[in-house]
Amino acid sequence: MFYQLGEGETLLSGLDAVRASLGKPTYDRRGILIYQGDCVEQMQKLQEPTFDATVTSPPYNIGKEYEDALPLTDYVAWVGKWMTEVHMQTLSHGAFWLNLGYVAVEGYGKAVPLPYLLWDKSPFYLLQEVVWNYGAGVATKHTFSPRNEKFLWYVKNADNYTFNLDDVRDPDVKYPNQKKNGILKCNPLGKNPSDVWSIPKVTSGRNRSSNERMAHPAQFPEAVIERIILASTNPGDLILDPFLGSGTTAAVAARLGRECVGFELRSDYVDTAAVRLDGMFDAPISDELPLE
């Protein structure tokens, strides 16, 4: 994607347009820009819609080490503010994937899904809710053990958005060769993976830590983000993650031939993401990273 500056001036790529608005990033390599700072302040500096998609997970307001818990009404207002900024920076065909968990609402519920509070807090069109079943977690005695989180899939234009179903089909088909009137009933690439995704979470611990585990308490599994990016973007597209954390969105984007801009408040998480990305970029070419 390129942007015209004015008569006689050179076209800018999406990344160059971001650099022109925000200045020198903390990290800049192989189509990945990371800026340390508040995402709302950074997005407000951008001059025009730039991103093909946003994939992110904000703090859940449940007292994690990387967040300052706010009164619920203030939290909802804050989320609405940055979601509206994301909408303003999204291209007309773009998508917004928002990962959300659960929160206590005093007097009303112990584990209220955040989507119930936030789904309408921006001009985006809510296309679908996807349930991520992560398979393992805390055990409880007085309720069913929690094993899922939500993704809200928004689009800017309900009649014009990217959806690459063939890129994310599930090959695990029970009867792949079944025919009707001599025609295969199932797509040879596999079935639609549906709106419930069973993908293991990133685990920690001496004997059970995931291979992709980084120093972050709430890390996305790459497989979840891979499915989202393949489905909702095309090679060369520019993706935003306003809460970059350990850098999973950026890492998967780079591996799949997309570009990414990430915002992150904490310097230690920026360092973690940088180490992770450098490790990918410096790996042997056989690891299938795109060439510089």
Q: Spell out the SS3 assignment of 185-242.
A: CCCCCCECCCCEEECCCCCCCCCCCCCCCCCCCCCCCHHHHHHHHHHHCCCCCEEEEC
First to last CA, the chain: 18
Going from N- to C-terminal start, the domains of the chain cover 21-257+273-283
Spatial distance between the Cα atoms of 44 and 88, rounded to a whole number of angstroms: 9
Lowest pLDDT segment from 27-36, 90-99, 212-221, 277-286? 212-221
> For position 181, what pLDDT does the model report?
76
179 confidence band (pLDDT: 50, 70, 90): confident
The candidate with the shortest Cα–Cα distance to 253, out of 87, 52, 118, is: 52
Q: With 50 as the cut, is the pLDDT of residue 40 above it? A: yes
At the fourth CATH level, the homologous superfamily of domain 21-257+273-283 is Vaccinia Virus protein VP39 (3.40.50.150)
Digit-coded pLDDT (tens) for 53-68? 999 999 888 766 666 7
Asked if pLDDT for residue 258 goes beyond 60, the answer is yes
Among 194, 102, 186, residue whose Cα is nearest residue 148:
102
Task: State yes or no: pLDDT of 9 exceeds 70.
Answer: no
Q: How far apart are CA 292 and CA 289, in angstroms?
A: 9
- What is the pTM assigned to this prediction? 0.88
- DSSP run (H or E) holding 2: strand 2-3
- Looking at residue 6, its pLDDT comes to 46
Average pLDDT across the chain, whole number: 88
**pLDDT value at position 215?**
54
- Residue 183: predicted pLDDT: 80
pLDDT band at 4 (very low <50, low <70, confident <90, very high): very low
pLDDT tens digits for range 198-213 = 999 865 545 555 565 5
CB 239 within 8 A of CB 254: no
**170 DSSP 8-state letter:** B
